[in-house]
Chains A and B, each alone.
Chain A
């Protein structure tokens, strides 16, 4: 038996797939097991097939793999969709009394468990708890103590009253008993529990939590997959700290509201996905030109245009790096794990205010929908430091006023950072414009002032290069001649791929880059390695292009643009092929 178990529930959209999966994932997490979840949608666009997958182990799990051990199939299509991941030892739980499943037979050597889910659910108190019966059955198959489900059920249904909770608990037990009595099978699984208390959250939630921790008070956004969870997380919660979420009429409004709040002194943020970033780009330039601190979060999905809204891609790198007319100083930060979504959000707010610059916080669909377990200490609130940069109050304003007593909000300083006052501060009244301006903030076309202001704004980036740490996260064998580089959410899959590769005697040094701009110059690392492979979820290799530009050296590329994230074993195989000089074609799922 492998150390980890891969479990899934699949059916039609509306079958309660997500909530059932979440209940199971939380039960595992509370029982001290690590969990990594993924939401799976068909790569063929038809019908409403949806699945929630849970990978669990006592050790940390950082990615998905190409294997499915227990599948609750509410429809026959669920089995078809997952055929590639099913294997001879897989167990499929289904309801043979359901008309559409009555002729179902488990393929090959697989074990099919026909459990009358609906009938048992009705026995427990209502057909609606059908999925919970299936969960109970799955617990029996996996030898996972069913009591662990109880707390999850209480959390999920507690506000509907104890009768509902009891019905669910009963349903789970009926499912468990049915499998024990009718099949009495010993699959050999044993889902060991530990005393650890993990928290389970996804990337969007981690970004929202990071924002509150960082003192964000204003959020405006427009709903868009897969960024909406950030807004939903903040709604209600941010109010407890004196903040507010405003659902705007469109992305143009959202970013302009966020800009207004930032000018009024609030730590402010908006989040969207690629199509929304397109709309926001006009104001992105204004934010940089007016030197307004703002965090703009891009949770990427497949593009271009509306592309595949529920699919993974890292296709927006160039847009965040180069988007907008003219030349725009900016920071682009791309967290590499769910936990880093929290830490990098806090960092993004500090960068924005210290340098009075827009910050792109770039995440992606895979990270947004992945729930992963962490020790709560990973989110150490005591360690959060808030740096607001050069904010000037009544007492400090004189230092920044000219001989006529006018405040100079765009003074050209040595480090490029100007004084900033919040409205309400006496003597600080000033105009800010997207037009080129002088130190007072007034429009100018004076050649010398233009050059002075452009240089000043660009100098902020140079100052930040010197003052901050932009290094990548390093893993694997530091002395290896094989160098793999990735950015954003590929870190987990690559970390596990390192284990697979090590087993096969392949050593790799791995650099995972959270900073797109500014970034550490990897030219020396690239030149010193024999083989350099850049891994990313896009077709053209945008990060590889950037690194080639920096190092003036060609690099190899592993690209995936099927709409599905890298799986650890798949990635290991492709790294091996690249190192052996046999690049594989991109395979459709």
Chain B
């Protein structure tokens, strides 16, 4: 990896089609800065995304990337990292992508603890399909598919992650560029599954969870006496429904990535031109 990498090296020349003012710009910029700050380069980075506004991220970044199907980015990231543990793997998704169709994969990715970073651009709405409620939308939130308010409780992704055995659970706000970048950076540096839920406001369809709302309510854990290595402390913060927190909420510092526990360190891309030299042993097993 080269030391003179700048975050703009992670930028492609494609023009984003996100709405002006979208929170995803800030989320992505923080990811690119964090990748550069941690010494990664585009040729050794793999970005995976699913469907939705968040899914477009691979186009706007410059790296090896895959834009897949709805909700299934985490398994793809798992396969990439297992097959080549030397790559920096970033998975990006939205609240619909990650907590609705992909909720099952989320829980299993957390418990597997593969060393990759999962960024969820949480705007609490379905943006690309033009304004339906999402799994993180508040109860009684009025949208085109919930004109009388949703009758469903929002999912608490941080609680899901904690209960599944998450080893790095954090939250950030895309417009707080410096803190967001720092938090993503810590997630990248974490040995295991680094999960960051990013408040990434939708300026077009969500007039409740706005920039102003988050600016007014967010509490930065660095300005409190929160200890992220204290499980009970983390649990208390995560289950506190009245507050929006920013920072690393929980980190298990003894975490070791799944691929390392499985004994993987080399790329699986290099194979011989023929069968392995001792392959006849595989046949002899059947005598």
Chain B residues with CB under 8 A of A264 = 46, 79-81, 83-84, 87, 267-269
Chain B interface residue bracket vs A: 35 or more
Bound CA span A293–B129, Å = 32
A residues bordering B, Cβ < 8 Å?
A: 29-30, 197-201, 205, 209, 212-215, 217-218, 220, 237, 239, 241-244, 246, 248-250, 252-254, 256-268, 282-283, 286, 290, 376, 379, 381-382, 384-386, 404, 422-435, 442-443
B76: contacting residue among A244, A259, A282, A384, CB under 8 A:
A259
Are A199 and B80 interface neighbours, CB within 8 A?
A: no
Chain B residues with CB under 8 A of A199 = 283-284, 286-287
**Nearest B residue to A215 by beta-carbon distance?**
B271
Bound CA span A29–B287, Å = 8
Bound CA span A253–B61, Å = 25
Determine if B139 is an interface residue (Cβ-Cβ < 8 Å). no
Chain B residues with CB under 8 A of A200 = 286-287
Bound CA span A141–B273, Å = 51
Are B79 and A258 interface neighbours, CB within 8 A?
A: yes
Are B279 and A381 interface neighbours, CB within 8 A?
A: yes
Bound CA span A262–B62, Å = 20
Which residues of chain B (238-272) have a CB below 8 Å from chain A? 262-264, 266-269, 271-272
If the complex has contacts A253-B75, A256-B76, are A430 and B269 also in contact, measured as CB distance less than 8 A? Answer: no
Chain B residues with CB under 8 A of A248 = 75, 108
List 7 additional contacts besides A209-B283, A260-B82, A434-B69; criterion CB under 8 Å.
Answer: A257-B76, A257-B79, A261-B82, A423-B84, A424-B87, A431-B66, A442-B14
Closest approach, in angstroms, between the C-beta of A338 and any C-beta of chain B?
11
Are B72 and A252 interface neighbours, CB within 8 A?
A: yes
Chain A residues with CB under 8 A of B45 = 429
Q: Is the interface of A mostly helix, strand, loop or mixed?
A: mixed
Q: Top 8 closest A-B pairs, CB basis?
A: A260-B79, A265-B269, A215-B271, A256-B75, A266-B268, A199-B286, A264-B83, A217-B268
Bound CA span A283–B64, Å = 19
Chain B residues with CB under 8 A of A218 = 79, 82-83, 268
B279: contacting residue among A201, A283, A384, CB under 8 A:
A384
A268: contacting residue among B13, B43, B79, CB under 8 A:
B79
Are A432 and B284 interface neighbours, CB within 8 A?
A: no
Bound CA span A259–B266, Å = 18
B174-187: contact bitstring with A at CB < 8 Å (1 yes, 0 no)? 00000000000000
Chain B residues with CB under 8 A of A250 = 104
Are B104 and A386 interface neighbours, CB within 8 A?
A: no
**Nearest B residue to A256 by beta-carbon distance?**
B75
B residues bordering A, Cβ < 8 Å?
A: 12-14, 42-46, 48, 58-59, 61-69, 72, 74-84, 86-87, 104-105, 108, 262-264, 266-269, 271-276, 279-280, 282-284, 286-287
Q: Can you list 6 pairs linking A and B with CB atoms under 8 Å apart?
A: A200-B286, A213-B279, A218-B268, A253-B78, A264-B80, A381-B274
Chain A residues with CB under 8 A of B43 = 423-429
A259: contacting residue among B14, B68, B273, B279, CB under 8 A:
B68
Best-surrounded residue of A246, A259, A382, A429 (most CB of chain B within 10 A) = A429
Chain A residues with CB under 8 A of B61 = 431
Bound CA span A492–B68, Å = 42
**Nearest B residue to A379 by beta-carbon distance?**
B283
Chain A residues with CB under 8 A of B14 = 442
Bound CA span A30–B282, Å = 17
Best-surrounded residue of B64, B84, B86, B279 (most CB of chain A within 10 A) = B64
Bound CA span A213–B279, Å = 7
**Nearest B residue to A249 by beta-carbon distance?**
B108
Bound CA span A384–B76, Å = 29
Chain B residues with CB under 8 A of A266 = 83-84, 267-269
Are A423 and B64 interface neighbours, CB within 8 A?
A: yes
Chain B residues with CB under 8 A of A257 = 75-76, 78-79, 82
Best-surrounded residue of A205, A237, A248, A259 (most CB of chain B within 10 A) = A259
